[in-house]
Amino acid sequence: MNTADLGLPVDVPSTALFTDHYELTMLQAALAGGTADRRSVFEVFTRRLPEGRRYGVVAGTGRVLDAVENFRFDADVLGFLRERRVVDEPTLEWLASYRFGGDVWGYPEGEVYFPGSPILRVEGSFAECVLLETVILSILNHDSAIAAAASRMSSAAGDRPLIEMGARRTHELAAVAASRAAYVGGFATTSDLAAGFRYGIPTVGTSAHAFTLVHDRERDAFQAQVTSLGRDTTLLVDTYDVEEAVRTAVEIAGPELGAVRIDSGDLLLVAHRVRQQLDELGATATKIVVTSDLDEYAIASLRAAPVDAYGVGTQLVTGSGHPTCSMVYKLVARATSADPEAPLEPVAKRSSGGKTSVGGRKWAARRLDGHGTAEAEVIGTGPVPATLEDRLLLVRLIEGGRVVSREPLDVVRDRHAAARAGLPLSATQLSRGEAVIPTEYV
């Protein structure tokens, strides 16, 4: 359940300074030069997927909507800009009443994307749109990277649940966003209470090695935990001798013991031995949870092991080797003058080194083959072919400055599962490869 469903307030601080210095100096020059009011279209896209990845995952859209709503320049922020002489007084006066009043379209959160996909389209005056570049990219690049890693891990795990437990491996605020993105990508629970409070993600956790070590005997630690938390708790069994710990755990909790957790050693070998021991002791329903620096490859290697759940931390919150998606925010069209009726004309950067882009306000659709499987990401700037009209991907998120599309996280999570299932089977292969479907421009 998302807290938005419960009507609970979620405080988000002003995001006005989550930006780069040059966004404001561009604004000042545009206001002085007469181009600030030109109608403009910016798009977020990536020129390529991280090396070896076959698809990307759109995540963070809900946080982007919060950030745009809270992009406000209050007295303290304006005072800081004035003191540092970042911009002049006319620009400060303009910022004092800033409210984004344009439109935003985007891929629904949880959807997959490919090189060139117009993941987000921001429309309005140049001045109001240009200010949002940094905060939008900051959110989408981080959250989409985590969600992509989570998606690969959940695919490798199959129907076995995943626990997000990376809060201690990243910045405290990034940890909350990472937990949200991991849930979008297929994780079932989180250890981070802040993520549970803010986003309604189920939280789990029992004990660490410190709890065992503070007791005189491992038996005393297990007895205290079972007495306090119940027989269905999860006991950590690798502080000393695993075999002895499992025996003690079942003696204390009985066959009703919920689970044991293994956090070190040869997980494949130990899991098999623990399963055999649990079954011999009559604890056939007791589950096995494994942790210890897992990534999608380690999870896949444990597919044949009697493991019931995985806990993942470091590799998840760092994007499993790809902490960013390299998304960019580019002006693709602008009016020929400040006249509201002036026509839009495509614009695009021309450069060498692979940093070229395609101008024009774009639509995107996913073409399916005869079996209903995605076969191409089709992107265009002109009329939409009749055969693709019911396959368009972008939806309106903000209209006239007002958010019109907020969704519970469970809806987003289900969307991602469906989107991934609609890709060719090779999308879930962990071996390195190119994008699983091509991008076509029409």
Q: How far is CA 340 from CA 31, 40, 101, 125, 135, in A?
A: 16, 11, 14, 10, 27
Q: What pLDDT, on a 0 to 100 scale, did the predictor assign at position 353? A: 66
CA–CA gap between residue 343 and residue 416 (Å, rounded): 37
Asked if residues 211 and 221 have their Cβ atoms less than 8 Å apart, the reply is: yes
CA–CA gap between residue 258 and residue 374 (Å, rounded): 41
Q: What residues contact residue 339 under an 8 Å CB cut-off, 6+ apart?
A: none
- What the block records as the tokens of 80 is 């800081």
Asked if residues 108 and 59 have their Cβ atoms less than 8 Å apart, the reply is: no
| 234-236, strands of its sheet edge to edge | 189-190, 162-164, 309-312, 287-290, 259-262, 234-236
Q: How far is CA 332 from CA 23, 118, 317, in A?
A: 17, 11, 32
Asked if residues 367 and 388 have their Cβ atoms less than 8 Å apart, the reply is: yes
In the DSSP assignment, the letter for residue 74 is -
CA–CA gap between residue 385 and residue 42 (Å, rounded): 23
Q: What pLDDT, on a 0 to 100 scale, did the predictor assign at position 10? A: 44
In the DSSP assignment, the letter for residue 343 is P
Q: How far is CA 121 from CA 26, 156, 350, 394, in A?
A: 20, 33, 20, 9
pLDDT in tens, the chain (442 residues): 444 444 444 455 689 999 999 999 999 999 999 999 999 999 999 999 999 899 999 999 999 999 999 999 999 999 999 999 999 999 999 999 999 999 999 999 999 999 999 999 999 999 999 999 999 999 999 999 999 999 999 999 999 999 999 999 999 999 999 999 999 999 999 999 999 999 999 999 999 999 999 999 999 999 999 999 999 999 999 999 999 999 999 999 999 999 999 999 999 999 999 999 999 999 999 999 999 999 999 999 999 999 999 999 999 999 999 999 999 999 999 999 999 889 999 999 887 666 778 999 999 999 999 999 999 999 999 999 999 999 999 999 999 999 999 999 999 999 999 999 999 999 999 988 899 999 999 9
Amino acid at 298: A
- What the block records as the tokens of 384 is 């939409």
CA–CA gap between residue 125 and residue 334 (Å, rounded): 9
Q: What pLDDT, on a 0 to 100 scale, did the predictor assign at position 12? A: 53
- What the block records as the tokens of 4 is 């938005």
Q: What pLDDT, on a 0 to 100 scale, did the predictor assign at position 352? A: 66
Residue 307 burial (C-beta neighbours within 10 Å; 0-12, 13-18, 19+): buried
**Chain CA centroid to CA 371, Å:** 29
Q: What is the CA radius of gyration of the chain?
A: 25
